[in-house]
């Protein structure tokens, strides 16, 4: 119950982590099923339809429900601590964002049990995703589930923006902000400008499928390429929304474990912003083969290649940070160091794909699959592992086992290379993406087998991670404030895990790497910027949960408005929008409650802050 | 610490009550950001509409359909409602609660009038012209863009309506002021969007 009503950013971080881990597991199982099917030619482990559902749900789950919440988990756990704040700007919204995201994800996965999952690919290209070609409710679950989950993400993004703009501790100017907070800030801004586009896209597709609209219906004047534009105007920035926080994690981890300040801090900030800007300008590189014409292709091709410049700056800055540093290869740092070469390789194949004529060859082959997995798994997932190992003691007060961590790292990264390295060559010799099987003796057989073996090895790595978590959670809480000894940023100046008010006194920031600076000056604690006083805390509330539940019910109701259930009662309540209305009533009703009854919160008093003993 | 419900006499009211607390400033700032996102939302809808506006299939085209005098009247009503919401905020800055809720009520009524005209317009098309969401790509784009705006107006009416009630119950203070200020920002935003709709959908549709 405590967890359903919490508005504490640290607990919400844990909720995001658990939910993300759960969906990540589902997506991983789907990946393994795909790889089993492709392990040998002419396999009949799953049917063609099931295969389509598997790849669609794997991609959708991984991107929207797997890595996204883990990123949000880290952002929630770390941002307020790094900027010296007691909480986020809007604790209520924070909780609302989580529950909306979770209910959207659950709705999407309900499709497995309710007549078939979405089957049109994670990009849901029209006309493949229209009623004519996708016969089950699968794509409806996709459009409505993602719509709801996306709403949660947008709310979260807004909250982080406000938090970072207004809640920084005294002295924490923008150019003193830790890199992870910076990249999260830019990511949140990208979410704000990218997600509304996909919101509209999903609405249009929903209307086509449920209300009989004609946005993508050619016979009535609709335009299927419109979907691709809208999807990629969102979709390309989305990949940077994913990768930028990982860049932030890498910057923190590498500089901590090299005992050096991040090389080229201001160029890192500048590069982040430039990447975000260019990220919005290049969406049509996904559409070279749709026939936009040579001029458009050339422009988008060049714009895409430009992104390599700021990305290259970042890579070199990391290398220069390590250069001459006192490097310690903890598990976190192993993941961070492993990130660099794999990400570089993903970037290089990206530049290859950005060349329009070459893309005519690579398009829809396994070369593309290899490329984006190098970026998202070899980049982002490694980055998340680095971040999790790095901040685990801060979040839970316990250090993960280094020994298991190293086993986990090596199995995962070797498995990763086995899985995806060969896929480049599979693509180059012509194996298509999204086909459920292939003929023997075309040169595909051995490499596919290797790829499947590698995938299982990655699975083993993940299991070792889970075992590590299990073992660690039995140890007593007892991590030091600064368990790595070399912590540079504010989160390491307070206990692990932090008390619910984070900072007893808001610290005074006197430079970049604020805590490091104080340590270098011989202090063990931050200088406070205020006297000890009572701290105002927001009260817990169930309303965000209920509001999200209402949206969930409304979405489910809307999906079935034109169905014939063969049952007059069900027909009545669904076909007359009664279920939809009921769901909306729950949501708006709780909004009304929220606005009628003020939440004054509560205070933690001074004597309680100074020592536990005084509590009456 | 100031308690939110401290009795305030007119002369202790800060000039911009909505920005008197951190929470209030956060609300206003975040709402600006939110409107940035809303701009992308409507921008995408406009782009869709512009792509599909000549794809009328067998259905009527914009110039056959639209009734400009009525939409012009609706436009005028909505613009006036923006003005009355400005008066409301000015009243709030003067600390005049009565005038504030008066102007807010006028704003809501004007919004309601706009909405009724719009519903009447949609009904005309649907019933008399047999023109619906399913007629053509143009019709889908038209109903979606204009309907989205209409839904925003409806939401605004309900929202400001509730705020009028809150104002009566709780008075004008650092909690209610940011809410009212932000709802006025929202109202201006949907007015601006409507100006674009009037131009791009109706005027351009009539001349093309
Ligand atoms: C755990 C290891 C993983 C394995 C073995 C794996 C394997 C695969 C395979 C075999 C496909 C199908 C390719 C096709 O036939 O088109 C695929 C597609 C995809 N994967 Fe993964 N994947 C893994 C992790 C991830 C992660 C972590 C993400 C994202 C964060 C991801 C995102 C995607 C996407 C977006 C697609 C495209 C789906 C589509 O075409 O609709 N994968 N993956
Ligand atoms: Cu892209």
A506: exposed, middle or buried (C-beta count within 10 Å: 0-12, 13-18, 19+)?
buried
Residues A187/A156, Cβ–Cβ less than 8 Å: no
Asked if B6 is an interface residue toward chain A (Cβ–Cβ < 8 A), one would say: no
Query: Closest residue (by CA) to atom 3 of ligand 1?
Result: A31
In a domain? residue B180: yes
Cβ–Cβ under 8 Å, residues A226 and A284: no
Cα(B204)–Cα(B56) distance, integer angstroms: 15
Contact indicator for A125, A286 with CB cutoff of 8 Å = no
Angle separating helix axes A179-206 and B22-52, nearest 10 degrees: 40
pLDDT of residue A141: 97
pLDDT of residue A178: 97
Q: Give the residue whose CA is nearest to atom 7 of ligand 1.
A: A31
Please check whether residue B131 is in contact with residue B139, taking contact to mean a CB–CB distance below 8 angstroms. yes
Q: Taking the mean position of all CA atoms in its chain, how far away is CA A187?
A: 10
* pLDDT score for B3: 41
Alpha helices in A524-577 (DSSP H): 543-559, 568-575
Nearest to A251 by CA among A369, A395, A78: A78
Residue with tokens 């007060």: A397
CB contact under 8 A, B52 and A215: yes
Tell me the residues of chain A between 465 and 494 that have a Cβ less than 8 Å away from chain B.
none
Average pLDDT score over residue span B71-95: 96
Span B167-189, average pLDDT: 93
Residue B151 falls within a domain, yes or no?
Answer: yes
User: Could you give the CA distance from residue A96 to residue A90 in angstroms, rounded to a whole number?
Assistant: 10
**pLDDT score of B1 more than 90:** no
B155–chain A nearest CA distance, Å: 10
Quick one: which of A562, A397, A379 has its CA closest to A472? A397
The CA-atom distances, in angstroms, between A98 and each of A24, A193, A197, A321 are 16, 20, 21, 35
Contact residues, B window 86-145, toward A, CB-based 8 Å cutoff? 133-141, 143-144
Give the ligand with the smallest distance to the CA of A353: 2
DSSP designation for A283: G
CB distance B57–A233 less than 8 Å? no
List of chain A residues whose C-beta atoms are within 8 Å of the C-beta of residue B30 = 89-90, 158-159, 161-162
> Residue A479 C-alpha to ligand 2 middle, in angstroms?
41
Please tell me the distance between residue A226's alpha carbon and the centre of ligand 2 in angstroms. 16
Q: Does the beta carbon of A154 lie under 8 angstroms from any beta carbon of chain B?
A: yes
Mean pLDDT, residues A329-353: 96
Residue B11 falls inside a structural domain: no
Give how many domains chain B has, as a whole number.
Answer: 1
pLDDT in tens, A54-84: 999 999 999 999 999 999 999 999 999 999 9
Question: What residue's CA is closest to ligand 1, atom 24?
Answer: A377
- Using the Cβ of B22 and the Cβ atoms of chain A, whether some distance falls under 8 Å is answered with yes
Alpha helices (H) in chain B, listed in sequence order: 22-52, 62-65, 68-94, 97-123, 137-170, 176-197, 204-207
Count of all residues that appear for chain B in the document: 208
Q: How confident is the model at residue A118 (pLDDT cuts 50, 70, 90)?
A: very high
**Residue B120 is assigned to a structural domain of this protein:** yes
Report the CATH number that the domain containing residue B169 is assigned in CATH: 1.20.120.80
pLDDT (tens digit per residue) in A557-569: 999 988 888 888 9
Q: Which residue of A has its CA nearest to B155?
A: A588
3-state class of B67 per DSSP?
Answer: coil
Q: Ligand 2 centroid to A494 CA: how many Å?
A: 40
Mutate to test the interface with B, among A87, A212, A222 (most CBs of B within 10 A): A222
Reading the block at residue A392, the tokens are: 């685990």
The answer to whether the CB of A14 is under 6 A from ligand 1 is no
pLDDT band of residue B20 (cuts 50, 70, 90) is: confident
Residue B177 resides in a domain: yes
A611 falls in which pLDDT band (50, 70, 90)? low
Mutating which of A211, A213, A585 best tests the B interface, going by the most B Cβ atoms within 10 A? A213
As a whole number of angstroms, the distance between CA A159 and CA B121 comes to 39
Residue of B nearest to A534 (CA): B1
Q: Say how far apart CA A450 and CA A454 lie, in whole Å.
A: 6
What ligand is nearest to the CA atom of residue A372?
1
pLDDT at B19 over 70: yes
| Position B4 in a domain | no
Q: How far is CA A209 from CA A140, A184, B51, in A?
A: 8, 36, 20
Residue B1 sits at the chain A interface (C-beta within 8 Å): yes
Q: Tens digits of per-residue pLDDT, B55-68?
A: 998 889 898 899 89
Whether residue A410 is predicted with pLDDT greater than 70 in this model: the reply is: yes
Q: What is the DSSP letter of A460?
A: H
C-beta of A235 in contact with ligand 1 (< 6 A):
no
CB contact under 8 A, B144 and A89: no
Instruction: Report the separation in Å between the CA atom of B179 and the middle of ligand 1, taken as the mean of its atom positions.
Output: 45
Residue tagged 């009260």 (tokens): A539
- b/e for A266-293, b at 16 or more Cβ within 10 A? ebbbebbebbbebbbbbbbbbbbeeebe
Would the CB of A210 count as within 6 Å of ligand 1?
A: no
A324 φψ region: left (φ > 0), alpha (ψ -120 to 50), beta (else):
left
Residue A39 in contact with ligand 1 by CB distance below 6 A:
no
Q: Any idea which residue has 């929207």 for tokens?
A: A64
Number of C-beta neighbours around residue A298 at 10 A: 11
Instruction: Examine the pLDDT at A614 and tell me if it is beyond 70.
Output: no
pLDDT of residue B10: 46
Contacts of A554 in chain B (CB under 8 A): none
pLDDT tens digits for range A150-164: 999 999 999 999 999
What is the mean pLDDT of the segment spanning A99-118? 95
* Average pLDDT for A171-176: 96
CA-based end-to-end distance of chain B: 62
Contact B175, A235 (CB under 8 A): no
- Mind giving me the DSSP string for A572-616? HHHHTTHHHHHHHHHHHHHHHHHHHS----EEE-HHHHH-GGG--
Residues of A with Cβ-Cβ distance to B29 under 8 angstroms? 162, 165-166
Tokens of A133: 């070609």
Q: Given CB atoms, is B52 within the 8 Å cutoff of chain A? A: yes
- For A239, residues 6+ apart whose C-beta sits below 8 A from its C-beta are A279, A372, A375, A376
- Judged by its nearest atom, the ligand closest to the C-alpha of residue A359 is 2
Kindly state whether residue B91 falls inside one of the protein's structural domains. yes
Compute CA distances A261 → A79, A507, A538, B192, whole Å.
19, 20, 36, 48
Q: Which domain holds residue B135?
A: 17-207
Taken in order A410, A412, A416, A419, the sign of the CA dihedral is positive
Contacts of A604 in chain B (CB under 8 A): none
ipTM: 0.93
More confident residue, A229 or A561: A229
How far is Cα A192 from Cα A185, in angstroms, rounded to an integer? 11
Q: How far is CA A243 from CA A271, A279, A374, A389, B134, in A?
A: 13, 11, 12, 18, 40
Structure tokens at A226: 């419109």
Distance A373 CA to ligand 1 centre (A): 7
A349 alpha carbon to ligand 1 midpoint, in Å? 17
The average confidence (pLDDT) of chain A is: 94
CA distances from A412 to A346, A463, B24 (A): 17, 10, 48
B151 contacts chain A (CB < 8 A):
no
Interchain contact A435–B (C-beta under 8 A): no
Ligand located closest to A287 CA: 2
B63 within domain boundaries: yes
Measured between alpha carbons, how far is B13 from B16 in angstroms, rounded to an integer?
Answer: 8
Mutation target for A interface from B134, B135, B157: give the one with most A CBs within 10 A: B134
Asked if A85 reaches chain B (Cβ–Cβ under 8 Å), the answer is no
A201 in reach of chain B (CB within 8 A): yes
- A445, two tokens: 């057989």
Q: Which residue has the tokens 């809720």?
A: B101
pTM of the complete model beyond 0.90: yes
Which chain B residues have a beta carbon less than 8 Å from that of A200? 41, 44-45, 48
Burial of B53 (0-12, 13-18, 19+ CB in 10 A): buried
């Amino acid at each position: 119950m405590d967890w359903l009503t919490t508005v504490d950013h640290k607990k919400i971080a844990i909720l995001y982590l658990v939910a993300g881990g759960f969906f990540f597991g589902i997506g991983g199982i789907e990946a393994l099923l795909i790889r089993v099917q492709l392990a040998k030619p002419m396999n009949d482990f799953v049917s063609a339809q099931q295969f389509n559902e598997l790849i669609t749900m794997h991609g959708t789950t991984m991107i929207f429900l797997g890595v996204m919440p883990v990123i949000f988990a880290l952002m929630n756990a770390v941002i307020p601590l790094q900027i010296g704040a007691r909480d986020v700007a809007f604790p209520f919204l924070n909780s609302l964002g989580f529950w909306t995201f979770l209910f959207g994800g659950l709705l999407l996965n309900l499709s497995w049990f309710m007549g078939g999952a979405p089957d049109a690919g994670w990009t849901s290209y029209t006309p493949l995703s229209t009623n004519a070609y996708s016969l089950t409710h699968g794509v409806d679950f996709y459009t409505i589930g993602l719509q709801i989950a996306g709403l949660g993400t947008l709310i979260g993004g807004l909250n982080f923006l406000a938090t970072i703009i207004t809640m920084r501790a005294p002295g924490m100017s923008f150019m003193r902000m830790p890199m992870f907070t910076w990249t999260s800030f830019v990511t949140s801004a990208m979410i704000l400008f990218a997600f509304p586009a996909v919101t509209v896209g999903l609405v249009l597709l929903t209307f086509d499928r449920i209300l009989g609209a004609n946005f993508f219906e050619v016979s009535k004047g609709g335009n299927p390429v419109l979907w691709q534009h809208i999807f990629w105007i969102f979709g390309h920035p989305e990949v940077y929304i994913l990768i930028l926080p990982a860049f932030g994690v890498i910057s923190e981890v590498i500089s901590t474990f090299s005992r050096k300040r991040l090389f080229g801090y201001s160029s890192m900030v500048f590069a982040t912003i430039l990447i975000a800007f260019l990220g919005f300008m290049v969406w049509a590189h996904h559409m070279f083969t749709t026939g936009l014409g040579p001029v458009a292709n050339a422009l988008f091709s060049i714009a895409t290649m430009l992104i390599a410049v700021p990305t290259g700056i970042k890579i070199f800055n990391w290398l220069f940070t390590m250069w001459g540093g006192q490097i310690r290869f903890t598990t976190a740092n192993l993941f961070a160091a492993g990130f660099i070469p794999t990400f570089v390789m993903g970037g290089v194949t990206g530049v290859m794909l950005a060349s329009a004529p070459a893309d005519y060859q690579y398009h829809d082959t396994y070369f593309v699959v290899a490329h984006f997995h190098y970026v998202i798994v070899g980049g982002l997932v490694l980055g998340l592992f680095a971040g999790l190992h790095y901040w685990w003691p801060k979040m839970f007060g316990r250090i993960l086992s280094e020994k298991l961590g190293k086993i986990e790292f090596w199995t995962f990264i070797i498995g990763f290379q086995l899985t995806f390295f060969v896929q480049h060559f599979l693509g180059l010799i012509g194996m298509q993406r999204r086909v459920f099987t292939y003929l023997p003796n075309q040169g595909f057989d051995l490499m596919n087998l290797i790829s499947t073996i590698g995938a299982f090895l990655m699975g083993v790595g993940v299991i070792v991670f889970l075992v590590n978590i299990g073992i660690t959670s039995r140890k007593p809480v007892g991590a030091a404030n600064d368990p790595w000894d070399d912590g540079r940023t504010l989160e390491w100046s307070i206990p692990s895990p932090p008390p619910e008010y984070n900072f007893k006194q808001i610290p005074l920031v006197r430079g970049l790497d604020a805590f490091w600076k104080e340590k270098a000056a011989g202090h063990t604690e931050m200088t406070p910027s205020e006297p000890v006083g009572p701290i105002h805390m927001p009260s817990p509330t169930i309303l965000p949960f209920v509001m999200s539940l209402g949206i969930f019910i409304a979405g489910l109701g809307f999906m079935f408005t034109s169905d014939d259930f063969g049952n007059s009662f069900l027909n009545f309540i669904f076909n007359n929008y009664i279920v939809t209305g009921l769901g909306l009533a729950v949501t708006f009703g709780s909004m009304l409650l929220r606005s009628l009854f003020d939440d004054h919160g509560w205070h933690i008093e001074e004597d309680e802050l100074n020592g536990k003993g005084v509590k009456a | 610490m100031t308690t939110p419900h401290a009795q305030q006499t007119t002369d202790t009211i800060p000039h911009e009550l909505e920005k008197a607390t951190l929470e209030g400033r956060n609300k206003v700032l975040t709402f600006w950001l939110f409107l940035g996102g809303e701009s992308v939302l409507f921008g995408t809808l406009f782009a869709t509409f512009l792509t599909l506006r000549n794809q009328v299939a067998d259905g009527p085209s914009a110039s056959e359909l639209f009734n400009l005098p009525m939409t012009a009247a609706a436009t005028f009503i909505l613009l006036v409602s923006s003005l009355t919401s400005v008066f409301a905020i000015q009243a709030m800055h003067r600390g005049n609660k009565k005038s504030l809720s008066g102007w807010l009520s006028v704003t809501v009524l004007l919004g309601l009038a706009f909405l009724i005209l719009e519903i009447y317009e949609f009904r005309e098309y649907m019933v008399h012209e047999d023109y619906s969401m399913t007629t053509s790509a143009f019709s889908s784009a038209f109903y979606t863009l204009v309907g989205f705006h209409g839904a925003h107006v409806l939401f605004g009416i309900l929202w400001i309506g509730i705020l009028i009630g809150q104002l009566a119950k709780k008075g004008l203070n650092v909690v209610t002021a940011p809410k009212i200020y932000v709802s006025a920002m929202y109202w201006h935003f949907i007015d601006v969007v409507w100006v674009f709709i009037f131009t791009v959908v109706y005027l351009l549709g009539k001349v093309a």
